Structure 1
């Protein structure tokens, strides 16, 4: 008992004239429908009027159409009796010894589907009635997910724990329908009065379970992506990398819940609609962007421009507060500013041939008022010069130098 292939490929408009009646998918299906009953089509231009979903029972000699992107499964007493995953027209028969129970196609399904068939196959009774269901083998869209509170993961680039609220959608594909119906789909969707199995149906407990598992895998998926050197370790690339993040999410749900090996499902693409970082992460990202902007040649250029502005300010107002501020920024006593600082007035000291003034007895010298000590301002250029020398001597790493430079410049 099985199927005889009548013709291959897409269904033509003349099919109704060739076959008086045949089974086909019901009209008006949502693109998120995964499993649904086959319904009979009358002779009305091949698109007949008898489309009752309850009349999906097939008998010996029934004609069945399998459109492109779909598969057909037959059941008896809850047991799988046949699978067709090739487009074309087929005849269900228990009389022809050449009939087959499995048409797995080439490249549509997972290579493990034949192994699944051998594991779960059930021959049925010749001449008995069979229940026929179609399975959607296309990429199934609009499977949404979202988090109500922050999820956290360790980020390799930031070197810290990152938190965010996120939402988006993903597409999935059924790669092994045998595993799906035998291991996951409830029997109520495969009986004589079935409902359409839709992944977005809020009343579908199996679909709700998948949603919860995806949300529970998001933290691991973000960690997989941001800690993968081939992705550049940049969190900002996720929203533009639908396939790359889908691989990370698919791996996470596979590691946690065995979607592919246990249920015949895989995630194809992911569209992240939003990533809302928590307050600490936003502050950290802001600091990292500033450090990146001042790294390497750009940072050296910034320092040169700052030094030039300081010298210009000191030259325009050498005796005023602006000149003092400019020299303080550049750093007194550093080689780069030694020449400019040498022109400042020094304390009066007696020369070798000059006697120090001696106070007269009539006018004793008054003790000088004790001047309040002025704390020396920290010199950023001197600090940076010290760190650069340590870097050149191999005492610190390039990352240490960049971090120290950002701290000295107040970034």
Structure 2
């Protein structure tokens, strides 16, 4: 009975697998990187293909969607890789009576007898195995990460070690599908996702190791509050890392595309350190502002008193700046100082009286002297009342 059952199974299985298949990719979700090929079993309730999932008949059609690579696996591994989108006819499967080239080369009877005889020795099973899988070549986004413990960030601005927790996401892309399938995907697997805890654990471990190195290198350049805006530079440093995530491209054909930092949190101790630093800095700045204001007021008072007591003179010109000093010649400066101090000879000439030879003798000189006195008033050395009085003296009004 066993031999008869085997013969019956061989013939029945052979007939079922004579149907040509239409194979395309199973749906990809956000994190699926390898999806199995699925066979179209029926159409609108008419016709049904009951062939085996691990048998691919000659003449079957494989449809490759955009941004995917189709892998045809046999028992020994990768048999063929197709990276261009479109529909392809498979020519290396089991002979089929529905394939015109097979019928012409062998004939229907020989195809059926050969296939049934080959299966009979394996108790009705086919010795061949063919499977189709598709690798996602799109960017796989939003792979979440978070530091499991505090990272030490030696902030050069605060000049201390800060403990930070970082959270965000990164994205990757398969750039070499053959290298990825051979070195990253376990053998015989036709469905693989980054949602798998084992897959994610290994990736996150390597990513975080490189992330910690990259962030540490930035501590001498950026304050901790600026880290979220340096995601591109962090990504560049991770890619350049000679270990862990930096080696993904060469090891697995997998490229780190982007890194996004959603949040940087400080530990309680680090927050207290920064708050203390800020309070001390505000106190010092307030003290400096008050001291500078007091110093300015004191200086103005001393200058004003000196001008009132001793006149302007050459030294006074130096106090008010080189521009003011260069604009006053010794004669004018002495006259202005004398007039401000109320010294003899300070009054302007009266109508019909000859003026002092050292005083301004024309209207232009008077205006120049008034401009200098106006500068003293604007600087706060001379009051408006004093300026008005000296103006009347100079103009003789």
TM-score, with length taken from structure 2: 0.52
Aligned residues: 254
For the residues of structure 1 that align with 2:235 and 2:281, how far apart are their CA atoms?
28
CA contact (8 A) 1:41 1:51 kept: no
For the residues of structure 2 that align with 1:286 and 1:262, how far apart are their CA atoms?
45
Q: Does 1:271 align with 2:234?
A: no
Aligned pairs for 1:60-139 within 5 A: 60-94=58-92, 129-139=129-139
Find the residue that maps to 1:58 and give its secondary structure: coil
2:214 counterpart residue number:
221
Residues 203-253 of structure 1, C-alpha deviation per residue, up to 9 Å, x if partnerless? xx23321122222333112124445xxxx6344343245433322333348
Q: Does 1:142 align with 2:142?
A: yes
For the residues of structure 1 that align with 2:50 and 2:67, how far apart are their CA atoms?
21
Residues 274-314 of structure 1, C-alpha deviation per residue, up to 9 Å, x if partnerless? 2112345435555777899999xxx7x99566533x4xxxx
Change (3 A) 1:291 1:76: farther
For the residues of structure 2 that align with 1:51 and 1:248, how far apart are their CA atoms?
53
Find the residue that maps to 1:187 and give its secondary structure: coil
1:379 counterpart residue number:
none
For the residues of structure 2 that align with 1:186 and 1:294, how far apart are their CA atoms?
62
1:261 counterpart residue number:
250
Runs of 4+ in 1 over 6 A off after TM superposition: 48-52, 287-295
CA contact (8 A) 1:63 1:89 kept: yes
Residue ranges of structure 2 left out of the alignment (5+ in a row): 1-19, 94-126, 306-397
Change (3 A) 1:305 1:44: farther
Change (3 A) 1:159 1:177: farther
For the residues of structure 1 that align with 2:164 and 2:48, how far apart are their CA atoms?
52
Find the residue that maps to 2:214 and give its secondary structure: helix
For the residues of structure 2 that align with 1:304 and 1:165, how far apart are their CA atoms?
37
1:307 counterpart residue number:
292
Residue ranges of structure 1 left out of the alignment (5+ in a row): 1-19, 96-126, 191-195, 311-329, 343-411
Find the residue that maps to 1:59 and give its secondary structure: coil
TM-score, with length taken from structure 1: 0.51
CA contact (8 A) 2:248 2:255 kept: yes
Aligned-residue Cα RMSD (Å) equals 4.4
Change (3 A) 1:337 1:163: farther
2:195 corresponds, among 196, 200, 203, to 200
Find the residue that maps to 2:240 and give its secondary structure: helix
Change (3 A) 1:188 1:287: farther
2:271 counterpart residue number:
282
Aligned pairs for 1:156-175 within 5 A: 158-175=158-175
Aligned pairs for 1:329-368 within 5 A: 336=299, 339=302
How big is the shift at 1:150?
0.4
Change (3 A) 1:239 1:339: same
